[in-house]
Amino acid sequence: MQPKRDTLHEIRAVMIGKKQFENVGDGLLVRAPAKINLSLLIAGKRPDGFHEIETLMTKVNFCDEILIEKGNKAGIELVCKVPLWAPEGKDNLVYKAAEMLLRNHGQSPNIRITLTKNIPAGSGLGSASSDAAATLLGLNKYLDLQLPHAELAKLATQLGSDVAFFLDGPVAFCTGRGEKIKKLKKDFIFCALLILPDISVSTQKVYANYTHEPALYERLSGEINGLIKKNRVDLVTKICANMLEKSCLSLYKQLAELKAKIESLGVKPLHLTGSGSALFRVFEEKNEKKADEHKRKLKKISCKSVIVRSTRW
């Protein structure tokens, strides 16, 4: 389901300079940022059926918002608001995160959680995982549980592969299924043009369609790991390595055609983030004017986009 209004410009303006937590009356507002994969390599398939990955991820200031308040009903009440649709109730990862944290720590307060959904599902931006992490962080703070990071991380890994990344950051090298997090000491400050096609991608289908290329993995892994050790994240983005891209674009021909059309306008190189469908082009921190120029080129085609920045949290 699509947004009822085009709010991307408004979202961009609102997110600049904001912190992750903000007191709103008696409630707590938590911002759940999107992520982009600056690189994504597949090392092979694990015995448990999952794929072993190596990915360099960073958060951007394009966020969902979660408002935690005292509820008027027993238990957890989840309300989802536009501009984008999200499932209400126990199917939502926000509800699952809240239920798991409260149950595991003997809590039974009346909680009302309002999720404002800005990040589209199936875009590879990690929105559901970020929402879950924001819920864990927010409830820990709102209820003053004082749970250590290690305890929250344990819960996060049970909720999904990417959830643990969103507990920390803003830039990290993630391995395993994505749950093994190595935070980078040096932040990567940038702006990016984020393109949001009206296409929802199934991560499960993309992985199922993936054909492993061991030689490509070995070459890219050696190159990227070497750059990370030198703190040259900026050079990693120039490699434009996403080993899931071929699988995703072969499944979603419309996305492949759109990517080619955008690049023909001079908006390139474009990266696919995660398993797709969002595309992005990274610029240096002080080069937002160039990002704006590229964004204007997209007026020739019907495609939503927003300029984002790296976060410091």
The catalytic residue positions are 35, 162
C-alpha to C-alpha distance for 167 and 184, rounded to whole angstroms: 14
Nearest CA-CA partner of 37 in 259, 209, 205, 188: 188
Residue pointed to by tokens 């039974």:
108
Tell the burial category of 63 from Cβ atoms under 10 Å away from its Cβ (0-12, 13-18, 19+): buried
Show the tokens assigned to 187: 């932040």
Show the tokens assigned to 190: 């940038």
Separate counts of helices (H) and strands (E) for the chain: 10, 11
Q: Are 129 and 163 in contact (CB under 8 A)?
A: yes
In angstroms, the Cα distances linking 1 to 84, 87, 198, 266, 295 are 7, 11, 10, 30, 24
Q: Are 141 and 83 in contact (CB under 8 A)?
A: no
